[in-house]
Amino acid sequence: MANGADHIAAGALTGVAMACYGQSQGENVSPLLVIGASTVFSKLPDWIEPATNPHHRQFFHSISFLAVLGCGLKKTYDWKPEDKGGQILRFLTLCAGAGYISHLVLDCLTPRSLPLIGKV
């Protein structure tokens, strides 16, 4: 079962992959910032719905939220800002979303998996 350390490691590895992708695409964002954003957001689902909470693995740990997040990230990916600040914001948003998704993927691999919707 994935624990906090596993989620942090997956978030960091996701950040490394995103940093490499960003460098290959000419994104001018610090790799440490990319890795940091991905790592922090890989823990966000458990901060929203802690394991000690009876509502752990509800909506923010669900397949439906994963779909909503995926749609939002696709819109973000398609967004082409012209100013430098917008470009950095776009890429960091993609990195944060990738970190969050890494958390949900690890939770999918546990025997308990993820609910389809969960309680909102």
Q: Where are the domains of the chain?
A: 4-108
Q: Largest Cα–Cα distance in the chain?
A: 45
What are the tens digits of pLDDT across the range 3-56?
Answer: 889 999 999 999 999 999 999 999 889 999 999 999 999 999 999 988 887 767
Q: What pTM does this model have?
A: 0.92
Q: Quick one: which of 62, 36, 44 has its CA closest to 4? A: 44
DSSP character at residue 56: T
The Cα-based distances of 33 to 17, 44, 72, 91 in angstroms read 13, 17, 21, 11
Give pLDDT tens digits for 57-115. Answer: 899 999 999 999 999 999 999 999 999 999 999 999 999 999 999 999 999 998 888 99
